[in-house]
Amino acid sequence: MRNRSSVKVQPGLLLQPFVVSQLTGSLIGSVVEGSEISGPEFAVTSWLGAVGGTTPTELARDLGMAPTTLSAMIDRLVRKGQVRRTRHPEDGRSYVLELTAKGKATNSRNGKRFVAAMARLRSNLEEDEEEVLAALRSLEAALRKTL
């Protein structure tokens, strides 16, 4: 076993985002603690709150989620009364996902906690936020092209 104090190993191009994802999940977990939704469900409901309503296909693409993973999550959110499915106005084979009143209330509660968490994160960020976001968006684009 190597002496960790003498060698500083830095995660690489794929491991670093994994580490960031794990830490992000922990922070979001603290935001949603005490509500009836999980961190990943908060990502879905937040996105629905931002866009108003969308199809599962669009939502999966926007969030970079596997459709099967998203489908199971949608089912849970519908059972919890956070999200509803409504008939797609132009495509009878599809449906649109929207937040319910309960979902909007949960998002409001979690949103306030999210704003506080973001303020704490920004106070600890050593780089310019827009530069960090630009780098993340560049990595996202490269990953989407790769996949």
Q: Is the dihedral of CA 9, 147, 50, 42 positive or negative?
A: negative
Span between the terminal Cα atoms of the chain, in Å: 35
Looking at residue 58, its pLDDT comes to 93
Residue 3 has pLDDT above 60, yes or no: no
Looking at residue 89, its pLDDT comes to 81
Q: Is the dihedral of CA 52, 59, 85, 71 positive or negative?
A: negative
Question: CA-CA distance, 49 to 97, in Å (whole number)?
Answer: 10
Domain 38-146, what fold?
Answer: Arc Repressor Mutant, subunit A (1.10.10)
Q: What distances in angstroms separate CA 53 from CA 5, 32, 59, 70, 125, one per listed residue? A: 51, 22, 9, 15, 32
Question: CA-CA distance, 17 to 23, in Å (whole number)?
Answer: 10
Summarised one tens digit per residue, pLDDT across range 29-48 is 999 999 999 999 999 999 99
Residue 2 has pLDDT above 70, yes or no: no
Summarised one tens digit per residue, pLDDT across range 45-83 is 999 999 988 999 999 999 999 999 999 999 999 999 999
Summarised one tens digit per residue, pLDDT across range 116-141 is 999 999 999 999 999 999 999 999 99
Looking at residue 88, its pLDDT comes to 81
Say if residues 114 and 121 touch (Cβ distance below 8 Å): no
Question: CA-CA distance, 85 to 9, in Å (whole number)?
Answer: 47
Residue 5 has pLDDT above 80, yes or no: no
* Domain chopping of the chain, boundaries: 38-146
Summarised one tens digit per residue, pLDDT across range 95-117 is 999 999 999 999 999 999 999 99
Looking at residue 91, its pLDDT comes to 76
